[in-house]
Structure 1
Amino acid sequence: MSTYIQNFIKFRPLLNELIMRDIKTKYRKSILGVFWTILNPLFMMVVLSVVFSNLFKFDIEYFPVYLLSGQLIFNFYNEATTSAMGAIIDNGPLIKKIYVPKYVFVLSRIFSSSINLLASFTALIFVMLAMRVELHYTVLLVPIPLFFIVFFSLGVGILLAAITVKFRDIMHLYSVFVTALMYLTPVIYPMSILPEWLEKIVLLNPITNILMMFRDVMMNNTVPSVSSILLAAVEVVVVMAAGLYVFYKRQDTFILDI
């Protein structure tokens, strides 16, 4: 374990450079640059709020805030895991030239997405203040669900990065999977409209539990229950263990498959 820690400390400057490179690459030649991390969720919130609040008449107080909070969690998962999936392939030329701990490339994608997550969270706070949504003391507990979604995404990202090097079709299949997953996550709709059988399926989605926890502390003035925290912790540990195991087993063959 000490070897891994020393290795991480040794290559931390490289990790910082990779994170900055990922952010600069994403917003290269963009006039507004990183401001799009705030504007994008706001524009999507406006469009979806107009469509769904009028089309489906959801009886949700402060529906734009409800919608933006769902977007914040799910969009981070989507962006982080999708970008992490190609981390090893995209950095193939560097991996072939020098020794670098390969997990650093995955970490850089997750951490750069985490910066966007914080920007989106700032946008959510602005919307809540603009709509005069009361900010309760439970907002101070928001690091709990954010911690879970970041490390859950890290576990999935590490797993995807490892297997995508060998099986490139996953890059195309995953976009279909994420689309289906979005409809199985209460981003847009309330759980109350679901039939019992479908509600049980949606609750099996790990992101649902984290998202509900996030909305509880942000909107509902509710402290996350011990059961929801334990469930999220178990899901994160399982996904991280699976991702690290597969990554460790396959990392020596990456150079052959890139």
Structure 2
Amino acid sequence: MNSTIENFKKYKPLLFELVSRDLKTKYRRSVLGVLWTVLNPLGMMLVMTVVFSTVFRQNIENFPVYLMCGQLVFNFFNEASNMAMTSILGNASLIKKVYVPKYLFPLSRVCSSLVNMLTSFIALIIVIIVTRTPVTWTIITAVFPVLYVSMFAFGVGLVLATAVVTFRDLQHLYGVVITAWLYLTPIFYPISMLPESIGRLIKLNPITSFVELLRYAVLYDSLAPLKYHAYSIAWCVLVVGFGLYIFNKKQDNFILKL
């Protein structure tokens, strides 16, 4: 454990450089640059609010904020896991030349996506102001779902990064998986409108807990039940533990398949 911590401290500057590179690459030659991280969720929120608010008007109070909370969490997970998946392949030339702790590559992708998510919170603040949503002290608990989804995305990213080195088609298959995952997450619909059997399945989805935790922090004006935290922590520990195990077991063979 001590050697791992010392190793991380040694290469921490590299992690910052990788995150900086990812952010610069994403917004290179973009006129609006990082402003897109605010405009994109706002634009999607407006479109989806127009489409779905009529359908769910009687079921969901303050639909724009409800929707935005779900969007921020899921978009972050989607971006972080996709970027982490290709992190080893994308850094093949560096991996072949020098020794670098390989877990830094998926970790850097998650961190750069986290920066984008935190910037996207400006869009949520704008929606809160426009809709005159009351802001209470519970908003500080928003740090928990952000932490949980970051850990979960890192764990999933480790598994995907390991698998895609061998199975390149996973990059295309994962697009189908993430689309299905989107509709299995209550982002633009309430669980109460679903049949009980399907509702139980939706509640098993770990991202559902992350989304609900953020809504409790921002929208519901009350502390989230402890069961949401317990369920989220259990998933994070399980997925990160499994991801690290698989990644460490296979990482020595990466260079043979890159």
Q: TM-score, normalised by structure 1?
A: 0.98
**Any unmatched runs of 5+ in structure 2?**
none
Alpha-carbon shift at residue 54 of structure 1 (Å): 2.6
Aligned residue type for 1:155: G
Does the aligned pair in 1 maintain the 2:56–2:189 contact within 8 Å?
Answer: no
Task: Show the counterpart of 1:19.
Answer: 19
Q: Secondary structure at the match of 1:227?
A: helix
CA distance in 2, matches of 1:208, 1:257: 36
The reply on whether 1:78 has 2:85 as its aligned counterpart is: no
CA distance in 2, matches of 1:177, 1:241: 22
Alpha-carbon shift at residue 195 of structure 1 (Å): 0.8
Task: Show the counterpart of 1:92.
Answer: 92
Task: Show the counterpart of 1:47.
Answer: 47
Alpha-carbon shift at residue 93 of structure 1 (Å): 0.4
Task: Show the counterpart of 2:240.
Answer: 240
Task: Show the counterpart of 1:176.
Answer: 176
CA distance in 2, matches of 1:71, 1:227: 22
Aligned residue type for 2:62: Y
For residues 86-117 of structure 1, what are the alpha-carbon distances to aligned partners after superposition, in whole Å with 9 as ceiling and x for unaligned? 00000000000000000111111000000011
Q: Secondary structure at the match of 1:118?
A: helix
Q: Secondary structure at the match of 1:142?
A: helix
CA distance in 2, matches of 1:167, 1:13: 31
Q: CA RMSD in A?
A: 1.0
Q: TM-score, normalised by structure 2?
A: 0.98
Alpha-carbon shift at residue 204 of structure 1 (Å): 1.1
Task: Show the counterpart of 2:4.
Answer: 4
Q: Secondary structure at the match of 1:40?
A: helix
Alpha-carbon shift at residue 163 of structure 1 (Å): 1.1
CA distance in 2, matches of 1:124, 1:50: 17
Does the aligned pair in 1 maintain the 2:74–2:182 contact within 8 Å?
Answer: yes
Task: Show the counterpart of 2:68.
Answer: 68
CA distance in 2, matches of 1:58, 1:173: 37
For residues 7-37 of structure 1, what are the alpha-carbon distances to aligned partners after superposition, in whole Å with 9 as ceiling and x for unaligned? 1111111111110110111111000000101
Does the aligned pair in 2 maintain the 1:58–1:189 contact within 8 Å?
Answer: no
> Is the deviation greater in 138-147 or in 88-97?
138-147
Q: Secondary structure at the match of 1:133?
A: coil
Task: Show the counterpart of 2:110.
Answer: 110
Q: Secondary structure at the match of 1:29?
A: coil
Task: Show the counterpart of 1:129.
Answer: 129
Task: Show the counterpart of 1:199.
Answer: 199
Does the aligned pair in 1 maintain the 2:49–2:64 contact within 8 Å?
Answer: yes
For residues 200-258 of structure 1, what are the alpha-carbon distances to aligned partners after superposition, in whole Å with 9 as ceiling and x for unaligned? 11011110011111111110012122221111111100000110000000000000011
Aligned residue type for 2:82: T
CA distance in 2, matches of 1:58, 1:158: 41
Alpha-carbon shift at residue 120 of structure 1 (Å): 1.3
For residues 39-66 of structure 1, what are the alpha-carbon distances to aligned partners after superposition, in whole Å with 9 as ceiling and x for unaligned? 1000000011111113554532211111
Q: What is the total number of aligned residue pairs between the two structures?
A: 258
CA distance in 2, matches of 1:59, 1:205: 21
**Any unmatched runs of 5+ in structure 1?**
none
Q: Following TM superposition, where does structure 1 have runs of at least 4 consecutive aligned residues deviating by more than 2 angstroms? A: 54-59
Task: Show the counterpart of 1:167.
Answer: 167
Does the aligned pair in 1 maintain the 2:88–2:165 contact within 8 Å?
Answer: yes
CA distance in 2, matches of 1:227, 1:42: 31
